[in-house]
């Protein structure tokens, strides 16, 4: 292994992760702020575009966490510039939110207090964040409480946006109003407690308090500032408890709201919260297809990872198998409720109807575009495989000889046969999809079945190849990256085979043809399958053809 590479990979995940947290919070604020300020949001397009800019830029700034590792100035400066540039889209948002408040009629209910808290905390968290990309300043602030103060200001802002959303949507979900007095009190305590605690963290960091120490160094004022910060966190704790009491009180004894579809009267000011899809059947009834599985699969998507970790790290097959089984059962329940129940005759529009009951709280109308979904999957997969492939080249670049001495010579016969098989399965899938488009479900089913068989042969060939190579995964960095890459790819083949099986099953129960959605799903699976093929061609080249045929990179 390599500690620096590990840091790179960690922060390549870790930095965008921060935006995974903050972007939904920004979305919440952009929704609630204008409705509580009783006027439309200023610069909607600028806010939307800046979100996309933040998402893209977040992938190219990770090394700002590693300036003290010793990257060298050539590597540090581009990351310094890129990181400072992220402040621009964030600044655009803050500007638009602030201008939206100007000359408006601010309604100081609990959600708005939390939104205003978000603004204040996010501005301070953002400005203290711009200190770090400046390399010489960062060398001083690295691993001090200043980082903690900055980070907590941002995360506190995120939490306040979530609290705003919970209070704002509470009457929609329950039909009752939360306790306003307790709600406002919680927001005030949350603001005061957070401001005290995190401002003192910034001060402590500025004075030189290092992170991850259990005792402050014996410097004047340290002890006192720490005690005050702890007192601040107590106020924060009381505020947090009050949130739950205010909601619980509302749930049990809250006043029923007059209009549950629009409890805040947002439609009156021309900003209804949702645009329900008015899709009715012949009898004028609105159809719902409520099932919680999509949300539950999302919420429990960490289960398979945890399961695999239990198996690999502690050899605990029981817990591992149980986690995987629970998650698989949830996925099956989702697929069943979505395609094989009495709701299956509904088309996409009516499936996407808004359902505001707490267990199925989701806005489905936007979530049913399979092509968009597969494009997003492929976008994230490019980063996953890109990270693994980049790690492979990192080791290759650093190694004096590649593959390292002692690596068995890998024969190319089985992998090349496997390549032909996998590429042929791409052809059969594509032709099958074209048949489906022309309405020929039978031919699609036959060709998808051939694809399924070819894919399974590929997987068996992969297992044969693992055994034939006689190379244990723990041998050296080559074998480790070899198995990481090929098994990750194999997992994607398995997921593709599951998706194809689902298509075949749906071709029997009649939910595949006769509507645009059926083609869309088949098209999405076909695109995904081509992507799996493409990745394999890259892997065969870098794992078999180049290292055993060409001289080492560093030679
Ligand atoms: Cu970062």
**pLDDT of res. 167:** 97
**Residue 529 gets which letter from DSSP?**
H
For residue 162, how far is its CA from the centre of ligand 1 (angstroms)? 21
Ligand 1 centroid to residue 12 C-alpha, Å? 9
295 Cα: distance to centroid of ligand 1 (angstroms): 29
Structural domain 3-263, CATH architecture: Up-down Bundle (1.20)
Phi-psi sector, 239: left (phi>0), alpha (psi -120 to 50), beta: alpha
- d(CA 201, ligand 1 centre) in Å: 19
The rounded Å distance from CA 511 to ligand 1 centre is 45
Plot region of 399 (φ>0 → left; ψ -120 to 50 → alpha; else → beta): beta
Pull the structure tokens for residue 554. 């560093």
Q: Two tokens at 253?
A: 């004894």
Closest CA to 167 of 247, 105, 257, 89: 247
Taken in order 380, 381, 387, 393, the sign of the CA dihedral is: negative
**How far is it, in rounded angstroms, from Cα 445 to Cα 284?**
36
Integer Cα distance of 171 and 264 in angstroms: 9
Looking at residue 497, its pLDDT comes to 96
Run of H or E residues at 520: helix 516-540
Distance CA 347, CA 271 (A): 28
Q: How far is the CA of 127 from the centre of ligand 1 (A)?
A: 14
10-residue stretch averages of pLDDT, the chain, 555 residues long: 89 92 95 92 90 91 91 89 93 95 92 97 94 92 94 96 96 91 97 97 93 88 93 97 97 90 84 56 48 84 92 92 94 81 49 39 48 87 93 88 85 89 96 89 93 96 91 90 94 95 85 64 92 95 77 46
Task: Tell how far the Cα of 62 is from the centroid of ligand 1, in angstroms.
Answer: 6
Quote the pLDDT of residue 271: 81
Tell me which residue has tokens 């509904």.
Answer: 346
Using the mean position of ligand 1's atoms as its centre, give its distance from the Cα of residue 150 in Å. 11
For residue 80, report the distance from its CA to the centre of ligand 1, in Å. 11
Which pair of structure tokens corresponds to residue 445? 């089913």
pLDDT at 342: 55
Distance between CA 289 and CA 342 in Å, rounded?
9
Cα 56 to ligand 1 centroid, rounded to whole Å: 14
Q: Which fold has domain 379-545?
A: 1.20.120
pLDDT of residue 453: 97
Cα(487) to centroid(ligand 1), Å = 30
CA separation for the pair 404, 391 (Å, rounded): 15
Question: What is d(CA 115, CA 108) in angstroms, rounded to the nearest whole number?
Answer: 10
Which of 261, 243, 256 has the alpha carbon at shortest distance from 166? 243
Residue 397 has what pLDDT?
86
Report the alpha-carbon distance of residue 341 to residue 320 in Å, rounded.
Answer: 30
192: tokens are: 């005061």
C-alpha 81 to ligand 1 mean position (Å)? 13
Distance (Å) from CA 388 to ligand 1 centroid: 21
Q: Tell me how far apart the alpha carbons of residues 154 and 42 are, in angstroms, rounded to a whole number.
A: 23
CA of 42 to the centre of ligand 1 (A): 29
Distance 94 CA to ligand 1 centre (A): 19
Distance 36 CA to ligand 1 centre (A): 32
Position 274 scores a pLDDT of 65
Q: What is the pLDDT of residue 340?
A: 72
pLDDT at residue 324, as a whole number: 93
Distance CA 376, CA 433 (A): 21
The dihedral sign for the CA sequence 75, 78, 81, 86: negative
Nearest CA to 528 among 499, 505, 551? 499
CA 471 to chain centre: 35
Residue 270 exposed, middle or buried by CB count within 10 Å (0-12, 13-18, 19+): exposed
Question: In the numeric block, which tokens belong to residue 343?
Answer: 């709701």
Cβ(153)–Cβ(220) under 8 Å? no
Extents of the domains making up the chain: 3-263, 285-368, 379-545
Q: How far is the CA of 58 from the centre of ligand 1 (A)?
A: 8
pLDDT of residue 225: 94
């Amino acid at each position: 292994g390599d500690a620096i590479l590990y840091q790179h990979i960690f922060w390549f995940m870790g930095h965008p992760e921060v935006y995974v947290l903050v972007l939904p919070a920004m979305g919440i604020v952009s929704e609630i702020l204008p409705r509580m300020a009783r006027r439309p949001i200023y610069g909607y397009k600028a806010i939307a575009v800046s979100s996309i800019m933040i998402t893209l830029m977040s992938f190219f700034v990770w090394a700002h966490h590693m300036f003290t590792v010793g990257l060298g100035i050539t590597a540090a400066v581009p990351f310094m510039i890129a990181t400072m540039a992220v402040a621009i889209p964030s600044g655009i948002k803050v500007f638009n939110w602030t201008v939206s408040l100007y000359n408006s009629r601010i309604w100081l209910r609990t959600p708005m207090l939390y939104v205003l808290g978000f603004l204040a905390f996010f501005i301070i968290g953002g400005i203290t964040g711009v200190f770090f990309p400046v390399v010489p300043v960062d060398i001083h602030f690295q691993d001090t409480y200043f980082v903690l103060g900055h980070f907590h200001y941002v995360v506190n802002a995120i939490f306040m946006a979530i609290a705003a959303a919970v209070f704002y949507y509470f009457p929609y979900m329950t039909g009752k109003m939360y306790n306003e007095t307790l709600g406002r009190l919680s927001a005030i305590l949350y603001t005061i407690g957070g401001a005290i605690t995190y401002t003192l963290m910034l001060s402590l960091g500025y004075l030189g308090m290092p992170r991850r120490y259990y005792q402050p160094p014996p410097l004047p004022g340290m002890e006192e500032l720490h005690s005050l910060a702890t007192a601040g966190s107590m106020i924060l704790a009381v505020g947090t408890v009050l949130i739950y009491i205010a909601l619980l009180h509302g749930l049990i004894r809250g006043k029923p709201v007059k209009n549950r579809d629009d409890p805040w009267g947002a439609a009156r000011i021309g900003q209804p919260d949702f645009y329900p899809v008015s899709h009715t059947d012949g009898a004028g009834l609105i159809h719902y297809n409520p099932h919680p599985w999509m949300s539950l699969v999302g919420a429990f998507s960490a289960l398979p990872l945890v399961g695999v970790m239990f198996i690999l790290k502690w050899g605990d097959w029981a817990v591992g198998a149980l986690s995987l089984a629970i998650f698989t059962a949830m996925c099956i329940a989702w697929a069943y409720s979505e395609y094989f129940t009495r709701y299956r005759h509904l088309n996409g529009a009516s499936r996407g109807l808004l359902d505001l009951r707490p267990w199925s709280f989701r806005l489905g109308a936007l979530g049913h575009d399979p092509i968009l979904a597969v494009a997003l999957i492929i976008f994230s997969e490019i980063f996953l495989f890109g990270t693994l492939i980049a790690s492979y080249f990192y080791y290759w670049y650093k190694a004096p000889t590649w593959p390292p001495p002692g690596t068995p010579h890998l024969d190319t016969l089985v992998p090349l046969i496997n390549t032909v098989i996998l590429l042929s399965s791409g052809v059969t899938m594509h032709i099958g999809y074209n048949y489906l488009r022309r309405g020929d479900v039978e031919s699609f089913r036959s060709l998808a079945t051939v694809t399924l068989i070819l894919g399974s042969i590929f997987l068996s060939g992969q297992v044969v190849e693992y055994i034939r190579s006689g190379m244990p995964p723990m041998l050296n960095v080559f074998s480790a990256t070899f198995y990481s890459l090929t098994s990750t790819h194999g997992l994607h083949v398995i997921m593709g085979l599951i998706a194809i099986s689902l298509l075949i099953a749906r071709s029997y129960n009649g939910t595949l043809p006769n509507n645009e959605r059926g083609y869309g799903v088949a098209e999405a699976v076909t695109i995904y399958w081509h992507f799996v093929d493409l990745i394999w061609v890259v892997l065969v080249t870098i794992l078999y053809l180049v290292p055993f045929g060409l001289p080492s990179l560093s030679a």
